[in-house]
């Protein structure tokens, strides 16, 4: 428990600390983000989906219905579609909430300042290398994305900013690069990782043989470190408050040790080959796989690798692809032991 706790804490803390010391758009941070995306993709495909398939195809399960239909792949597909729906709905909720608060802030400036803000920024388009940017309240929300947190505190901080319409900004793209997207991505990603962490914690806790535990412990420690690094990178990019980032890191760090403790407590009565245990493990692993594969491909890899900055910087392309394949390869290699 101590080994896994330390490995998970180190992994999730490294990008959080590094994000405060290094520029977010620098080559090193871009490479770290690509490495994290590869880790998450390999976790979904190689660790979770294969684990779900193994559990739901176990001979201890009845032939009907478990061998008559590819349930692991079906559950992964359903999870990916539900993640898309949740992604859309949560992002829409956050954006509407932001817009309401920004409206309140603009109204509090008074008609004169509000008119000045409109003439200076709200209705003006800016060109950056031929690409049109949307400015105004949505761009202000993107500029102030460091104010966001998981709860209402971030929105209150955003609304309390002074001079919303009257000062200059560096306007970013509205869409996948907004602070709202990064907040949603980090929260959904943690949900997928945590459900898998519980399973591997319980699996380790119910093991009795030291010959099984010792190699598994080392592999799981590296597993937690890489998963923590990937999650920490997404949390750092979301620019949450200190409390929000600490809560997400803490929750990830303690999940697997809690799973180990639960597994140890029920080891005498737990049968890992019972129908209930196999079905629960297989369904949870398959659902987690769908969540992580969606998040890795849509919200991490596509968002970065299809961006304008990536398309015009050949050196950044080389570095990012190398780190992406390195992260996926190293996480896949761990499947030999865990």
Domains in the chain: boundaries: 1-18+25-99+176-336
Residues 233-292 pLDDT 10s: 888 888 888 898 999 999 999 999 999 999 889 888 888 889 998 999 899 999 999 999
* Mean per-residue pLDDT of the chain: 78
Percentage of residues in the chain having pLDDT higher than 90: 33
pLDDT at 16 over 70: yes
H or E stretch at 133? strand 131-133
Q: What residue has token string 């590819």?
A: 70
Q: What is the C-alpha to C-alpha distance for residues 136 and 251, in angstroms, rounded to an integer? A: 36
More confident residue, 100 or 55: 55
- The top-scoring range by mean pLDDT among 14-18, 108-112, 157-161, 322-326 is 322-326
Section 314-328 average pLDDT: 92
Report the candidate in 274, 265, 264, 298 with the shortest Cα–Cα distance to residue 87.
Answer: 298
C-alpha dihedral (323, 325, 331, 337), degrees to nearest 10: -130
Residues 175-221 pLDDT 10s: 444 577 788 888 888 888 888 888 888 888 887 777 767 777 888 88
pTM of the predicted model over 0.85: no
Task: Name residue 128's beta-bridge partners.
Answer: 131
Torsion-angle region of residue 209: left (phi > 0), alpha (psi -120 to 50) or beta? beta
pLDDT at 4 over 50: yes
- Which pLDDT does position 99 carry in this prediction? 81
Q: Give residues with Cβ within 8 angstroms of 145, minimum separation 6.
A: 178, 179, 180, 182, 238, 239
């Amino acid at each position: 428990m101590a080994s896994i706790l330390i490995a998970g804490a180190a992994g999730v803390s490294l990008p959080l600390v590094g994000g405060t010391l290094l520029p977010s758009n620098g080559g090193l941070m871009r490479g770290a983000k690509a490495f994290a995306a590869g880790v998450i993709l390999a976790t979904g495909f190689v660790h979770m989906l294969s684990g779900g398939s193994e559990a739901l195809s176990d001979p201890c399960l009845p032939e009907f219905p478990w061998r008559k239909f590819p349930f692991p792949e079906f559950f992964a597909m359903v999870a990916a579609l539900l993640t898309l729906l949740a992604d859309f709905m949560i992002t829409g909720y956050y954006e509407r909430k932001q817009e309401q608060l920004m409206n309140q802030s603009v109204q509090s400036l008074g008609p004169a300042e509000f008119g000045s803000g409109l003439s200076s920024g709200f209705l003006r388009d800016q060109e950056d290398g031929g690409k049109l940017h949307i400015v105004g309240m949505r761009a202000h929300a993107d500029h102030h994305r460091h104010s966001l947190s998981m709860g209402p505190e971030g929105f209150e901080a955003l609304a309390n900013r002074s001079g919303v319409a009257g000062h200059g900004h560096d306007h970013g793209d509205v869409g996948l690069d907004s602070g709202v997207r990064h907040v949603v991505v980090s929260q959904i990603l943690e949900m997928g990782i945590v459900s898998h962490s519980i399973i591997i914690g319980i699996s380790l806790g119910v093991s009795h043989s030291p010959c099984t535990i010792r190699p598994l412990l080392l592999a799981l420690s590296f597993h937690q470190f890489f998963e923590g690094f990937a999650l920490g990178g997404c949390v750092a990019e979301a620019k949450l408050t200190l409390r929000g980032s600490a809560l997400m890191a803490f929750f990830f760090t303690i999940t697997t040790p809690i799973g180990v403790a639960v597994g140890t407590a029920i080891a005498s009565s737990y049968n890992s080959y019972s129908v209930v245990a196999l079905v629960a493990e297989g369904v949870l692993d398959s659902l987690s796989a769908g969540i992580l594969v969606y998040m890795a491909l849509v919200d991490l890899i596509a968002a970065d690798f299809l961006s304008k900055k990536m398309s015009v910087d050949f050196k950044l392309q080389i570095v990012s692809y190398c780190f992406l394949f390195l992260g996926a390869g190293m996480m896949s290699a761990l499947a030999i032991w865990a």
